Structure 1
Amino acid sequence: MNLQHHKNLITENGFTVIDKIFSDEEIEKISEVIQNIDTSKETFRKSEDLFAIRQFLKEIPEVKKLIFNENLKTIIKEIFGEKYFVVKSIYFDKPEKSNWYVAYHQDLTISVDKKLEIEDFGPWTTKQNQFAVQPPLNILENIFTIRIHLDDTDENNGALKIVPKSHAKGIYRPQTIDWNSETETICNVEKGGIMIMKPLLLHGSNRTTNGRKRRVIHIEFSDMELPEELNWSERMKPI
């Protein structure tokens, strides 16, 4: 596992894929924990098209030691840095019949514990009693996202499509993409593999066409403190 190579790819292209971070047995254990949870809480969203758990690591603490195995802890330390901590975690399950299409976008908000009037923070949104805000660009540029794949994912079941290098262009409105100069890449990830990406990387996904599910654990990391009285809503050290 040449982590310096992956670190260079993230800096240059905004993303990288690393296979075989979790064994089949580890994925099975994580899946079992998720299957046995009480899904009635308000941080859980369940419909025919999607099952999602916000504040995933907070809601299901017993999954934490399974997710932060030695491979993942090494990656966080070597690629991100010693001081990085979790700031957001979500579990997504796109069921077999789900035909979701996600348009190109950047991840422009962070989850925080309260709403405050702070210069350069905004606009604000509230979802299921959670506050989200668009912070200044330097905070977004500091974040790394890890997407852990519990299933094989390719272009037939909604793998992420991305625009390489778009993370380095600041806020980039999808409608202004110049396809004469930009290219699209599909990020196939094997079960047990991870994709690491920068939130400002333009990304989206197509509809599923092969009737296979796609379960992903999405975890964001930062090493920055927020100003004034504002706190990350899910701040947590990797084990």
Structure 2
Amino acid sequence: MNLQNHKDSILEEGFTIINDVFSVKEIEKISEAIQNIDTSKDTFRKSEDLFAIRQFLKEIPEVKDLIFNENIKKIIGEIFGDKYFVVKSIYFDKPEKSNWYVAYHQDLTISVDKKIELPNFGPWTTKQNQFAVQPPLNILENIFTIRIHLDDTDENNGALKVIPKSHSKGIYRPETIDWKIEKEEICNVEKGGIMIMKPLILHGSNRTTNGKRRRVIHIEFSDLELPEQLNWSERMN
């Protein structure tokens, strides 16, 4: 696995795709662990269109060893170095009949343990006693996201679409996208593959048209400590 070109792609384009990171057997084990959980908790969101688990690694600690296999450890170590830790994790399941559409956006908030007034931190939101805040730009620029695909994903079942290089333009309001200069790219990822992206890349997804489900584990990493008494709420080494 030559990772230098993936490292270059993340820096320049804002994302990369690496297939064959998990075996079929590993994906089955992860799926089983997810199926065996109590879904009545606050961190779970269930509707006909979407099933989501926030604080995924905290809620299902037994998946941790399955997710951080040798391939993932090597990818994180070689591309980002050994100082990075988990700061957020979510599991998304868009079922077969889901017509969930996500407009272009950047991921602009981080999950923290409390709300305190700090310069350049804000606006704040609170969901189910979880605090989220938009931090200063340097913190957002430092994060990277790994999306693990439990299903084959392409343009027919809501694969992520991105605008390459948009991660390097700071806060970029989607309504100001100039389509004369920007191009869209669909990120097809095979089952067992991953997509690595910078949260500031403009991304969205279309509705599914082929009735195939799309399950993704979304994990964010950083190597920065937050200022003063503020802590990452899901921090995990």
Instruction: Please state which band the TM-score falls in when normalised by the shorter chain.
Output: over 0.9
Indicate yes or no: 2:36 matched with 1:36. yes
One-letter amino acid matched to 1:149: H
Indicate yes or no: 2:25 matched with 1:63. no
Residue aligning to 1:219 = 219
- Written as runs of structure 1 = structure 2, the 5 A alignment for 1:18-167 is 18-167=18-167
Q: Percent identity?
A: 85
The alignment partner of 1:152 has SS state of coil
For 2:126 and 2:177, locate their aligned partners in 1 and report how far apart those are by CA, in whole Å.
29
Deviations 1:163-200 (A, max 9, x none): 00000000000000000000000000000000000000
The alignment partner of 2:7 has SS state of helix
One-letter amino acid matched to 1:207: R
For 1:76 and 1:126, locate their aligned partners in 2 and report how far apart those are by CA, in whole Å.
30
May I ask how many residue pairs the two structures share in their alignment?
237
Deviations 1:39-98 (A, max 9, x none): 011001111011000000001000000000000011111111110000000000000010
The alignment partner of 2:34 has SS state of helix
For 1:125 and 1:180, locate their aligned partners in 2 and report how far apart those are by CA, in whole Å.
35
One-letter amino acid matched to 1:159: A
Deviations 1:131-188 (A, max 9, x none): 0000000000000000000000000000000000000000000000000000000000
For 1:25 and 1:199, locate their aligned partners in 2 and report how far apart those are by CA, in whole Å.
30
The structure 1 segments of at least 4 consecutive aligned residues displaced by more than 6 Å after TM superposition are none
The alignment partner of 1:5 has SS state of helix
| Residue segments in structure 2 that go unaligned for 5+ positions in a row | none
Residue aligning to 2:176 = 176
One-letter amino acid matched to 2:16: T
The alignment partner of 1:219 has SS state of strand
The alignment partner of 2:11 has SS state of helix
Shift of 1:128: 1.5
One-letter amino acid matched to 1:35: Q
One-letter amino acid matched to 1:73: K
For 1:146 and 1:25, locate their aligned partners in 2 and report how far apart those are by CA, in whole Å.
20
For 1:196 and 1:165, locate their aligned partners in 2 and report how far apart those are by CA, in whole Å.
14
| Residue segments in structure 1 that go unaligned for 5+ positions in a row | none
For 1:148 and 1:5, locate their aligned partners in 2 and report how far apart those are by CA, in whole Å.
19
The alignment partner of 2:215 has SS state of strand
Q: TM-score, normalised by structure 1?
A: 0.99
Shift of 1:125: 0.3
For 1:91 and 1:161, locate their aligned partners in 2 and report how far apart those are by CA, in whole Å.
18
RMSD of Structure 2 on Structure 1 (CA): 0.4
For 2:154 and 2:193, locate their aligned partners in 1 and report how far apart those are by CA, in whole Å.
12
One-letter amino acid matched to 2:163: V
Residue aligning to 2:231 = 231
Q: TM-score, normalised by structure 2?
A: 1.00
Residue aligning to 2:11 = 11
The alignment partner of 1:87 has SS state of strand
One-letter amino acid matched to 2:4: Q
One-letter amino acid matched to 1:111: S
